[in-house]
Amino acid sequence: MADPVRVRAERLFRELQASICEDLETLEGGATFVEDAWERPGGGGGWTRVLAEGAAIEKGAVNVSAVHGEAPPALVEHLGIEAKTFFATGISMIFHPRNPHAPTMHANLRYFEAGEGESVVSWFGGGSDLTPYYLYREDAAYFHRTVRDACDRHSVADYPEWKAWADRYFHNAHRGEARGVGGVFFDHQKGDADAWLAFDRDYGLALMPSYLPLLERRKDSPTTAEQERWHLQRRGRYVEFNLIHDRGTRFGLQTGGRTESILVSLPPRVRFDYMAEPGEGTPERELLDVLRGPAQEWL
C-alpha cells in the first residue's frame, strides 16, 4: 500500500532540497550550505539550509518544513475552512546573487491538508519567479521558456494561466511595480495526488536548469559603485513585498512557524534611500519602465 500523500510529499521535498543544494554548491566551488534542523512547538518542524558569503550567491536558502497540529483561528479564518487540525509541508528557496547583473530567483512547492477523516481537504501550490536588477530580455525569455516546458509536460499544469497569476501576485501594489519579470504561481490546486506529485518532482528538478545558466552568465560581469547602490535599493523592494504581501510569510507567522526560517528569504544587505529614482535613458530606468508597465509576454 502506498504511503499517504503527506508522507510522499515531505519525502519528495527533502530529496529536491538535497539535489538543489548540491547543484548550487557545485557552481560555487567552495561555499556550502549549513543545515539547521528545528522543531515547531505544537507539532512538526523543518530543515533550513543556508549558504552565506559565496562567490556567486551572497545569501541563499533552501527550506523544507513539515508542520502539523491544531489549526490556529487566524489560519482557519484566512482559509475560510472548518477544521480543527492541519498539516503542511513544502520546500522554498531564495538566491540573492552578489553581482547586480545576476537576477534573484525564488521558488516554492507545497502541500496542505486540513481536517480529519472524510472531512479532509487538501491542495497543492507553488511556483517560481525571477527578479532582475538589470533587464536582460534574453534571460527573462530563457527562464520563462524553461518554466513553460516543465509545465507543458504535465496535464495538471497550465503555464498561461499560472503566468498571469504570477504577474498579479508578484506585484508591489503600494509601489505600482512588479517585483520582477514573473514566472508562474499556483495555489489551492486539487485533483489526482499522484499526478501532482509527479509534476512537483519534474518542476522541482527543472528549477536549477532555469536559473543556474543565468547566474553563470552574469556572476562575473564588471560592476560599478552606482550599480551596486541600485542593486541594494532594488533589494529593498524585495523586502517590502515579502513583509507586506507574501502569503508564505503570513502563513508561517499565523501557524506559529519559526521566525528565522520564515524571514531567511530577506537579503543580507539592502538600502532604503528616500525618493531614489534613476534618470531617463539609463538601464535602471529601462527596468523600472518595464516593472511599472503592463505585464509582458516574455515568450
User: Any idea what DSSP says for residue 267?
Assistant: -
CB-CB neighbours of 256 under 10 Å:
17
Q: Where are the domains of the chain?
A: 5-291
Across 124-148, average pLDDT: 98
* Phi and psi angles of residue 195, each rounded to the nearest 5 degrees, phi first: -65, -40
Distance of alpha carbon 140 from alpha carbon 103, whole angstroms: 10
Are 36 and 48 in contact, with CB atoms under 8 Å apart?
Answer: yes
Round the average pLDDT of the chain to a whole number and report it: 93
Contact 201, 12 (CB under 8 A): yes
**Contact by Cβ (8 Å): 143, 159:** no
Share of the chain above pLDDT 70, in %: 96
Q: Which CATH class is domain 5-291?
A: alpha beta
Q: Is 171 assigned a catalytic role?
A: no
> pLDDT digit string (tens) for 82-132?
778 889 999 999 999 999 999 999 999 999 998 776 678 899 999 999 999
Cell of 39: 522543531
Catalytic: which of 106, 144, 171, 231? 106
Segment 20-58, tens digit of pLDDT: 999 999 999 999 999 999 998 889 999 999 999 999 999
Residue with cell 509545465: 151
170 vs 186: CA distance, rounded Å: 12
Instruction: Examine the pLDDT at 220 and tell me if it is beyond 90.
Output: yes
Q: Given a cut of 70, is residue 77 above it in pLDDT?
A: no
